[in-house]
Amino acid sequence: MSSIIDVFKVPVYEAELDLDIKKLELFCNSYKKLNEGRVFSNMGGYQSCDLSLKIPDTQPLIKEIEEHASNFAKAFLNPNGQFMDNMWININGYKDSNITHNHPDTDIAGVYYVKTPDECGNIVFEHPASDVLGYYDMSLNIAQYNNYNSSHWKFTPAVNTLYLFPAWVKHYVSQNMNKENRISISFNTKG
């Protein structure tokens, strides 16, 4: 008798929300007009500084994030409730992207997509052993990539979709190849 036993896994949580997307898009664009941004993980585009967690327009989103993050944490981290630590806006235009990074000093990181035109760039997660798996990519003739042998895993963003993941997971966002902006709100939670 033989079996394959999964010994290490990296969870990513995906949920489709039902929030007022037009109101959130208007909020993000208005915020950008009134507030300077920062350069952190963004290559081009706009990334706001941390938002106040008391802005009325973001309260429904914060409530959803905290609920989903708490449920997600129970599956792999701890039974404590998760609470919003910080959040910020990303507005990426044509060919803008976000470089590989992670979110230290927090439990769960995530992104919520407000606007996602076609070919606006995928969120890509790196396998924790991607440097070693890169060797296998070059030396082995892999017939089909899967969650055992892939060094990267990508998700195509969709409007009103929430992604949560352990904050230590390295990730990036590929270039927006659409002339329309991709708009997202990123955040961190702690329990």
Q: Is residue 152 exposed (0-12), middle (13-18) or buried (19+ Cβ within 10 Å)?
A: middle
pLDDT for 133: 66
Please, are residues 107 and 73 in contact by the beta-carbon 8 Å criterion?
A: yes
pLDDT for 139: 58
Distance of alpha carbon 136 from the chain centroid: 27
CA distance linking residue 37 with residue 44, whole number of Å: 11
Query: pLDDT 10s digit of each residue in the chain, 191 long?
Result: 999 888 888 999 999 999 999 999 999 999 999 999 999 899 999 999 999 999 999 999 999 999 999 999 999 999 999 999 999 999 999 999 999 999 999 999 999 999 999 999 999 999 887 777 666 655 566 778 787 777 889 999 999 999 999 999 999 999 999 999 999 999 999 99
Domain 13-190 adopts which CATH fold?
Answer: Jelly Rolls (2.60.120)
Q: 62: how many CB neighbours lie within 10 A of its CB?
A: 19
pLDDT for 152: 84
Cα dihedral 48→17→98→155 (10° resolution): 180
